[in-house]
């Protein structure tokens, strides 16, 4: 039987290592699944952005077309202005001709007035005035014609810029600019469409990978559950062998855990009897977070009592064997009020790895092993597990635990961990 117990212990060690490896793999696969889900979400956002780009390019192309048509219309209107200016120029030219003729008539009248002598003097004055006014009209008309000519040239040039150059087979600089804009918009639309197709293919592949990761997670969950059952079976076999009276190699630790659990239970009952603490305070589950701690630490109403009573028992059990790693009393939720002195170091701000390894008091260990030990009410419980020391470091341990009963009520458990 002892040989069988040793074999089961070795088997449990292997099972715990396999379980730990599966746990590590499960964390990696879970992280990959989360990453794939994030990628899928981001690809969906990219597709939405690409659709927005395609819609915007369509609107831009339509706007450019409308602008070109509007420019054509403006060009036609400017052509009408040119025609009107031509009419103004023609009218000014006619006025110039009339002014010239008027000047000639006035000149002739002035000559005849001079011939008439004193009798034609008044008529001569009028003739001279008419001649002067005709000269002014002629000058103004010529000025109008010159200004109109300049304006006509400028407007005509502007009109040519606004209208396509049908004779030359090309387009104006403005239309060429719009054509280039249309080409650029077309290239953007083409690139967006190609990118959209690529993103769609990537999304499809990402979906396939996500499904494969999900399937791998299901397989890992099944393997994880199987390893748990296998580990628990080896632990139960050792427990039954120990219950049969056979002296197994773990018996020393089982008896040590049981004796320490009874001693702490007696101390707690004495504290209740002496009214050092109330029953409500002793069974307090209002874990108050300690601000700024990482990993999180908490306080309860029985912390002060635990700090006074537990260390003497816990430190003495460390000397039970050189294999003992720690001895702690925990409540039924896995809360450790006070740990062994070497693990009760104040936390260092921002150093979570150091804190995980050295500041293990005031913490709640509600993992599989921690909760099983805390809530076990059988005479003892044997477990094999990996202890997280922070920074990706783990230590493979065995643990014997025994329940702590206070006035017939389950308070928690005594956990005694030791190496192989």
pLDDT band at 256; cut points 50, 70, 90: very high
Residue 317 predicted with pLDDT over 90: yes
Give helix 2-116 / helix 121-162 axis angle, nearest 10°: 160
pTM beyond 0.85: the answer is: no
Residue 269 predicted with pLDDT over 90: yes
Of these ranges, 30-34, 169-173, 241-245, the one predicted with the greatest mean pLDDT is 30-34
**Lowest mean pLDDT segment, chosen from 66-70, 306-310, 333-337:** 66-70
> What is the side-by-side order of every strand in the sheet holding 324-331?
363-364, 335-336, 324-331, 409-418, 393-406, 381-390
**What residue ranges in 71-160 does DSSP mark as E strands?**
none
Domain ranges of the chain: 22-191, 250-418
Residue 280 predicted with pLDDT over 50: yes
Give residue 167's pLDDT.
45
Q: Residue 363: what are its φ and ψ, rounded to 5°?
A: -120, 160
Mean pLDDT of the chain: 79
Percent of the chain past pLDDT 90, that is, above it, reads 34
Q: Residue 103: what are its φ and ψ, rounded to 5°?
A: -60, -40
Give residue 127's pLDDT.
65
User: Could you tell me which CATH number the domain at 22-191 has?
Assistant: 1.10.287.950
The neighbouring-strand residues paired with 405 are: 410
CATH superfamily to which 250-418 belongs: PAS domain (3.30.450.20)
CA distance 160 to 181: 20
Digit-coded pLDDT (tens) for 96-134:
777 677 767 667 767 766 777 676 666 666 667 666 766
Residue in the structure block whose two tokens are 């008529």: 123
Residue 218 predicted with pLDDT over 70: yes
- Spell out the residues 6+ positions from residue 46 whose beta carbon is closer than 8 angstroms to its own: 199
The neighbouring-strand residues paired with 299 are: 288
Give residue 169's pLDDT.
46
């Amino acid at each position: 039987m002892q040989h069988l117990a040793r074999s089961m212990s070795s088997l449990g060690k292997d099972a715990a290592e396999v379980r730990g490896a599966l746990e590590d793999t499960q964390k990696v696969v879970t992280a990959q699944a989360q990453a794939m889900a994030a990628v899928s979400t981001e690809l969906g956002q990219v597709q939405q952005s690409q659709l927005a780009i395609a819609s915007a390019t369509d609107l831009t192309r339509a706007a450019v077309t409308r602008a070109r048509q509007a420019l054509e219309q403006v060009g036609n209107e400017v052509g009408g202005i040119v025609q009107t200016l031509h009419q103004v120029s023609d009218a000014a030219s006619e006025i110039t001709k009339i002014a010239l003729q008027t000047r000639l008539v006035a000149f002739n009248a002035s000559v005849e007035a001079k011939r008439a002598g004193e009798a034609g003097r008044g008529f001569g004055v009028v003739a001279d005035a008419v001649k002067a006014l005709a000269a002014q009209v002629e000058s103004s008309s010529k000025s109008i014609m010159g200004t109109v000519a300049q304006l006509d040239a400028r407007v005509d040039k502007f009109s040519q810029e606004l209208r396509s150059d049908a004779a030359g087979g090309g387009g104006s600089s403005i239309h060429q600019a719009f054509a280039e804009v249309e080409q650029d918009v077309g290239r953007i639309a083409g690139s967006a469409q190609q990118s959209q197709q690529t993103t769609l293919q990537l999304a499809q592949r990402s979906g396939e990978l996500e499904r494969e990761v999900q399937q791998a997670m299901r397989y890992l969950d099944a393997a994880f559950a199987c390893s748990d059952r296998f580990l628990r079976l080896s632990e139960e076999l050792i427990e039954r062998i120990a219950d049969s009276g056979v002296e197994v190699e773990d018996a020393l630790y089982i008896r040590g855990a049981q004796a320490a659990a009874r001693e702490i239970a007696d101390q707690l009952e004495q504290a209740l009897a002496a009214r050092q603490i109330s029953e409500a305070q002793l069974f307090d589950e209002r874990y108050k977070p300690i601000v700024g701690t990482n990993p999180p630490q908490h306080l309860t109403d029985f912390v002060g009592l635990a700090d006074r009573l537990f260390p003497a028992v816990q430190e003495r059990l460390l000397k039970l064997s050189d294999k003992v790693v720690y001895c702690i009393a925990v409540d039924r939720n896995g809360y450790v009020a006070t740990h062994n002195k070497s693990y009760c170091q104040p936390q260092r701000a921002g150093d979570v790895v150091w804190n995980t390894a050295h500041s293990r008091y005031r913490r709640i260990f509600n993992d599989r092993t921690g909760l099983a030990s805390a809530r076990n009410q059988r005479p003892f419980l044997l477990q094999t597990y990996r202890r997280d020391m922070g920074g990706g470091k783990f230590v493979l341990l065995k643990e014997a635990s025994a329940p702590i009963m206070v006035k017939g009520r389950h308070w928690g458990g005594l956990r005694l961990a030791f190496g192989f």
